[in-house]
């Protein structure tokens, strides 16, 4: 692999890593917003069920079932956030490998 190619790849990977930080911020915000929305809707549903006279022991499970779409959105946002973290970690590994190649080239005078 030519030194110039390694340098270009390192530059591109560094740019992707910078972009991934912005993407992770957006994913983290979405994760927090979906958590907030889920908890708010769940609390409202639990109060409604309590007001309707449902047995207190059944309320948590029934309420979660009734707001399952929001629960799904919350869980999906969490999965996307975790996938983003793993993608950023993979880019970090690539950057590290390219830096090692550059160092090896400079050490051997290549």
Give the pLDDT of residue 93: 94
The ranges assigned to domains in the chain are 3-99
Summarize pLDDT for 23-51 with one digit per residue, the tens. 999 999 999 999 999 999 999 999 999 99
pTM of the model: 0.80
For 4-18, 49-63, 72-86, which range has the lowest pLDDT when averaged over its residues? 4-18
What's the full length of the chain, in residues?
Answer: 110
Report residue 70 as tokens: 């929001």
The model's confidence at residue 77, banded by pLDDT at 50, 70 and 90, is: very high
Give the pLDDT of residue 1: 65
The Cα 31–Cα 74 span in angstroms is 7
The Cα 37–Cα 10 span in angstroms is 40
């Amino acid at each position: 692999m030519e030194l110039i190619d390694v340098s270009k790849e390192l530059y591109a990977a560094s740019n992707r890593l910078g972009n991934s930080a912005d993407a992770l911020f957006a994913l983290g915000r979405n994760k927090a917003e979906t958590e907030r929305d889920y908890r708010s809707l769940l609390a409202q549903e639990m109060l409604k069920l309590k007001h309707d006279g449902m047995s207190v022991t059944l309320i948590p499970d029934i309420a979660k079932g009734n707001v399952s779409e929001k629960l799904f959105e919350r869980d999906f946002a969490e999965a996307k956030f975790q996938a983003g973290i793993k993608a950023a970690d993979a880019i970090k590994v690539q950057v590290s490998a390219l830096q090692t190649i550059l160092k090896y080239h400079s050490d051997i005078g290549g």
